[in-house]
Structure 1
Amino acid sequence: MSEAQTQASEVSHVDVRTLHPGERHPKIFGTLHTLTPGGVLHITSDHEPRPLQYQLETALPGKFSWEYLEQGPEVWRVEITRLDAGCDCCCGSH
């Protein structure tokens, strides 16, 4: 996503380094569900968030894009953009 698109969109931030591990994915998914199409979530983490990416792609395929803004070794930053306004149901997987 271009910088101009990000500035024009709603941008939320979650720094998972400040959250208990059991709160991280629920907080992220809760925030993602509030985004409208074009809305953006920036996540900051102290570890590679690839498991989150796989979970997102499995639970909500085609609804979000994923772009690394920074890739460690100490800090990872990811931009997730809402692409689709359709149902966020996870087909009973939660």
Structure 2
Amino acid sequence: MKDFTAQVDVRKYPPKDKHPVIFETLNGLKPGENMELINDHDPKPLYYQLMAEYKDQFQWEYLEEGPEIWRVAITRK
């Protein structure tokens, strides 16, 4: 089990708030810090967005891959 600097369970937020909360949390991470993202579906589109906007700044690791819960560790490089 990893220790996380932050955790964002996006299932708790209305759709319009999900990405702002995720990116606010990501932007607050220092190098080496990580967050746990919890979602009710595969957040693969977020992965592609991170790769486009934050190229080589984050590491993405699936911790759980459904079918009901997806958990991802996102670490700032």
Q: TM-score, normalised by structure 2?
A: 0.94
Shift of 1:37: 0.4
Shift of 1:47: 0.6
Specify which structure has the higher proportion of strand: 2
CA-based RMSD of the aligned residues comes to 1.1
Shift of 1:11: 1.5
Larger radius of gyration: 1
Q: Which stretches in structure 2 are left out of the alignment for 5+ residues?
A: none
1:29 aligns with 2:26: no
Q: TM-score, normalised by structure 1?
A: 0.78
Aligned residue-pair number: 77
* Structure of greater relative contact order (alpha carbons < 8 Å, 6+ residues apart): 2
Q: Give me the identity figure in percent.
A: 48
What aligned pairs does 1:1-94 form with structure 2 within 5 A after superposition? 6-7=2-3, 11-83=5-77
Q: Aligned partners of 2:41 and 2:15: how far apart in 1?
A: 12
